[in-house]
Amino acid sequence: MIADTLLPMLRERFADRGLRVEPQPKVCVIFPAAHPEVGDLQICDDGDEVTVYAGNFTHGHFANYDDISAQEKAKDISESVIDFPEAVFADRVAFWGSHKTGGGWRRLDIGPQEKPKASEYVWSGPRRTI
């Protein structure tokens, strides 16, 4: 399971974020929302990939389809996932939309900067333009 590799990494790096683990039906790590309109950040082990549920907005998949061992895949996927919550908690990821109608996220610290979308949020709440 990917969680065997990822869970210790998350506990070590984000011990002060109130994370809790829901072991059934699949292992999910839940970080409680910093703002009620944003919602919780959930990181779930789906067996062959990790799905990250970004609050009330959207979700993304972290996977590795290379022809390598399960242990190597778990390590690679875990290393890909581990930086995402750090960026989220630092308000460097913007979210929009909803799980019902479609949504998305974008890193604010990578690539060209766009004008904020209507109803765009960061971890701490509604994103304000400067």
User: For the segment 2-58, what is each residue's pLDDT rounded down to a tens digit?
Assistant: 999 999 999 999 999 999 999 888 899 999 999 999 999 999 999 999 999 999 999
Evaluate if residue 116 carries a pLDDT over 70.
no
Sequence-ordered strand ranges (E) for the chain = 20-22, 28-31, 41-45, 49-54, 58-63, 93-98, 102-107, 121-122, 125-126
Give dist(CA 122, CA 99) in Å, integer: 16
How far is CA 84 from its chain centroid?
6
Domain boundaries, the chain: 2-126
Helices marked H in the chain: 2-13, 70-89
Amino acid at 130: I
> In degrees rounded to 5, what are phi and psi of residue 96?
-155, 165
pLDDT tens digits for 77-112? Answer: 999 999 999 999 999 999 998 877 888 899 998 877
